[in-house]
Amino acid sequence: MARKLILDVDTGTDDAVAVMLAALHPALELVGCTTVNGNVPVQFCTDNTLRVLDHIGRGDIPVFEGLSRPLARSDFPVARRLSDHSGKYHPDTLPVPPTALKKQATGAVEFLIETYRAATEEIALVPVAPLSNIAAALALDPKFVERVPELVIMGGGHEIGNVTPSAEFNIWGDPEAAAMVFAAGFRKITLVPLDATHRALISRAHCAQFAALGTPAGGAAAAFIGHRIVVHDEHQKQAVPHTTPVHDALAVGFLVQPSLLTTRRLHVAVETQGPLTVGRTVIDTHGRGRQAPNCDVAFDADAEGFVELLLRAFAAKA
Ligand code: BDR
Ligand code: CA
């Protein structure tokens, strides 16, 4: 039986690859996508998610729009640019055609609360964006924490930051929300930080393999990841030149194939105060805080297995 999941996204090139993997892999059943302010303003995240789902023939998957800003902060960073600057698309829009699909009338937080309240089967929750929607659900429904059987979160970094020397974007984007989520007492959290995603780099040669599949998902993956490689070469060079992590898709990949990640069971908290460290995931690798572990934290990834998984999923037509 396929594993059910809800994907919380700020779509985004790597979110888009995650959405396609979740929507197309036969071992997964994507119950819905929720969107949140992050890579671009939330209305663009929603539109991008709808475009991608339509493009791959999965317009049946509902999309629920969530928070347009962090829980406690007004100083959210400037949006990133997602397209190739050719002028054909708005810079906050992914380079896939417009869609007539519409978001659902229900908001993301209400959808999350109601879905888990009514669930009779396990639904994994996979946030790959700032954690504002998840923290809002926690705040509104005291039972939410018990009802979510499993969280797989892309965010944080131990050795690597990508916004500041200390912090990764998803956690830094709403540190108070992230602090709430890690302290809430969820029974199973897997954290997929930059330390793991930077071990599963995708190259131009891989993009050519995606394009050669001749499917909408293969073509889109090649375009999105190709654009990421350009941006990473310019702003965030990786250990292997002309490659990029595809962070969010790795978190989804883990649900299908847990062997993709090598994890350690550790305590994780989030810094919300320090002027130099705000948004840092404080991962207690040596048990100094003497707190019970609350996460399985990934430090390594099977790069080859990840690409193979993506290739198999994107070969299929919806
Ligand atoms: C994370 O930040 C976002 O820009 C990406 O979509 C990913 O979720 C990586 O730091
Ligand atoms: Ca994301």
**3-state SS record for 146-158:** HHCCCEEEECCCC
- The pLDDT of residue 236 is 81
The per-residue pLDDT for range 164-176, each reduced to its tens digit, is: 999 999 999 999 9
Residue to probe by mutation, ligand 1, list 133, 248, 252, most atoms within 8 Å of CB: 248
Q: Which ligand is nearest to the CA of 247?
A: 1
Is 155 a residue whose pLDDT tops 70? yes
As a whole number, mean pLDDT of residues 13-22 equals 97
As a whole number, mean pLDDT of residues 104-133 equals 98
Q: pLDDT-derived band of residue 230, with 50, 70 and 90 as boundaries?
A: confident
Ligand 1 contacts CB of residue 128 (under 6 A): yes
Query: Residue 49 C-alpha to ligand 1 middle, in angstroms?
Result: 15
Print the SS3 string covering 85-138.
CCCCCCCCCCCCCCCCCCCCCCCHHHHHHHHHHHCCCCEEEEECCCCHHHHHHH
Ligand 1 contacts CB of residue 248 (under 6 A): yes
Query: Residue 80 C-alpha to ligand 1 middle, in angstroms?
Result: 10
Residue of minimum CA distance from atom 10 in ligand 1:
169
**Is-catalytic flag, 235?**
no
Do residues 94 and 48 touch, judged by C-beta distance below 8 A?
Answer: yes
CATH placement of domain 3-315:
3.90.245.10
The per-residue pLDDT for range 260-306, each reduced to its tens digit, is: 999 999 999 999 999 999 999 999 999 999 999 999 999 999 999 99
Ligand 1 contacts CB of residue 170 (under 6 A): yes
The per-residue pLDDT for range 18-58, each reduced to its tens digit, is: 999 999 999 999 999 999 999 999 999 999 999 999 999 99
Q: Give how far Cα 105 sits from Cα of 5, 32, 132, Å.
A: 20, 13, 19
Query: Residue 45 C-alpha to ligand 2 middle, in angstroms?
Result: 10
- Residue 63 structure tokens: 């999309």
How far is residue 241's CA from residue 18's CA, in Å, rounded to a whole number?
Answer: 23
Residue to probe by mutation, ligand 1, list 8, 9, 10, 158, most atoms within 8 Å of CB: 10
Q: Please report the beta strands in the chain, taking only residues with DSSP state E, as ranges in sequence order.
A: 3-9, 28-35, 63-65, 123-127, 151-154, 189-192, 201-203, 243-245, 261-266, 268-270, 281-283, 295-301
Ligand 1 contacts CB of residue 168 (under 6 A): yes
Q: Which ligand is nearest to the CA of 194?
A: 1
Ligand 1 contacts CB of residue 203 (under 6 A): no
Do residues 264 and 160 touch, judged by C-beta distance below 8 A?
Answer: no
Per domain, the residue ranges of the chain are 3-315
As a whole number, mean pLDDT of residues 238-246 equals 88
Question: Which of 32-41, 208-217, 225-234 is least confident?
Answer: 225-234
Query: Residue 171 C-alpha to ligand 2 middle, in angstroms?
Result: 11
- The pLDDT of residue 232 is 85
Q: Which of 198, 227, 247, 267 is catalytic?
A: 247
The per-residue pLDDT for range 137-152, each reduced to its tens digit, is: 999 999 999 999 999 9
- The pLDDT of residue 218 is 98
Ligand 1 contacts CB of residue 55 (under 6 A): no
Query: Residue 185 C-alpha to ligand 1 middle, in angstroms?
Result: 24
Is 79 a residue whose pLDDT tops 60? no
pTM (2 decimals)? 0.96
Evaluate the CA torsion angle 104, 46, 5, 127 in order and state its sign: negative
Neighbouring C-beta atoms of residue 160, cutoff 10 Å: 16
